[in-house]
Structure 1
């Protein structure tokens, strides 16, 4: 019986590590997906508006033309 325990191969932990990484990525992705509406939601105090004014030139009636 003791010989069987000695001869038994040690299993690689690589599949478990990959499974845990995949699970962590899924949880992080889910949290980011759930919080998308929170990050895009802004209050009026946080928003900035820019207004631009344009000035129109006076129409050229020919008074300033060179002869």
Structure 2
């Protein structure tokens, strides 16, 4: 996954949104998560958070919009 994180960081524009299912990006902090178990979905909005902060991922509870 680190190789994919690096590739996306280098190639995507700063306003990109990345949606991941089944597996989160281990070094990125999601802006939103929904579902649970194998049905969990993580959204990374690079415009707001940069998505590139290195820290261990903690599963966040679903936030209301």
TM-score normalised by the shorter chain: which range applies? under 0.3
The structure whose residues are more often strand, as a share, is 2
The structure whose residues are more often helix, as a share, is 1
Taking structure 1 as the reference length, what is the TM-score of the superposition? 0.15
Who wins on radius of gyration, i.e. which is larger?
Answer: 1
